[in-house]
Amino acid sequence: MHEVKFRDRGVQWILDDIARHREDPAATKDALWKSAWARGYQDVLVPVHGSDTRYEGMLTLNYPLASKRTVVAIDTGERMLAVVDAFEAVPNPGAKVRITAIFVGEAEKWIIKTLAAIGCGLSIHFGDDAGKKRFNDAGWGDTLRNALAQVRAAENEITKKLNFERMALPPVEQEPPFKDQIVKLDEEMRKRISTAPLTPDEEREKSKLRTQDQANAFFERHKAKLAEQYRIEAQQFRDRGIPELRAAYDKRQERNTKLQAEIDRVTKLLAENLANVELASQSMKMIEKIEEASLPISVGDMTPIQTDPRAHFKEIVETLSLLFEIAATTKRRV
């Protein structure tokens, strides 16, 4: 049998539920239909409660009831859903939310979680007539443009500063591992000793050689002399040379580690800074599209945004992203 996931005629189902709780459903009906029509839907569905049932979407209605329950409507991008329950906290319309079905004992319950919310002192009321907006509500776009322009200018100054810092940093000197360096020095020492020319005394002795036995004895003595010289120099290298080289190597490595960490820090800040500059530019372009959609946006206190735009940059971007998404899908019909 096909599992039923949604109840159609959801508005009536919600109204019947409200009536069962002895509340007046009339105003709720009007609010539900207005929010649905504002998003282009001709019907509202009620999701069937079940284990692991969850939906994400845009909150289009937050309608409190006298019983301290709240009717919420969510545009998932495919359908308009509505549920009614006693929620701990419900964000304002326009927020991205997730509703999840849970059980409290044997009782069915819905919970709501905010994923992203409209801020900057702005709010949106789906179903309101955009023509009824107050005159001062139209200035939010210029306020956010000015805020983003200030952010971009500040980030550009920081970019210049970081570029100067990066250019002032010396390059990291790469060198092979310490063990490889020691092996190389040892090989050079062996080669130097083994290829050293004969001393004047040895040359004179060599010139007096007359028999093969004399020659063999001479070169055996010379070979033993070279081996002893290597033994002595290698011992001195181990006792004094290697510790000194190791101390110098460790000092260079410590310097390089600190230098690389500073280079990485500045490089990371530069990347973040350039990303913020680009994000500010993209966000400014969003404002025009949002204004063209004539969304029913109401303006509250935008003073914090005007006072310190950089501190609220993330909030500005998140707000504009949500409003842009709403504007881009307003004309949809299902």
DSSP H helices in the chain:
10-20, 26-38, 140-168, 178-194, 200-207, 212-236, 242-292, 303-307, 313-329
pLDDT digits (tens, 9 = 90+) for 127-166: 765 555 554 466 899 999 999 999 999 999 999 999 999 9
294 Ramachandran zone, left/alpha/beta (phi>0; psi -120 to 50) = left
> What 3-state DSSP class applies to 64?
strand
Domain boundaries, the chain: 6-117, 143-295
| Separation between Cα atoms, residue 56 and residue 70, nearest integer Å | 18
The answer to which of 11-15, 59-63, 166-170 has the lowest mean pLDDT is 11-15
Q: What backbone torsions phi and psi does residue 75 show, to the nearest 5 degrees?
A: -95, 110
pLDDT digits (tens, 9 = 90+) for 280-332: 999 999 999 998 888 888 888 999 999 999 999 999 999 999 999 888 887 54
| Separation between Cα atoms, residue 134 and residue 130, nearest integer Å | 9
Tokens of 181: 């360096």
Mean pLDDT to the nearest integer, 187-202: 91
pLDDT digits (tens, 9 = 90+) for 234-275: 999 999 999 999 999 999 999 999 999 999 999 999 999 899
The per-residue pLDDT for 139 is 87
- CATH no., domain 6-117: 2.40.50
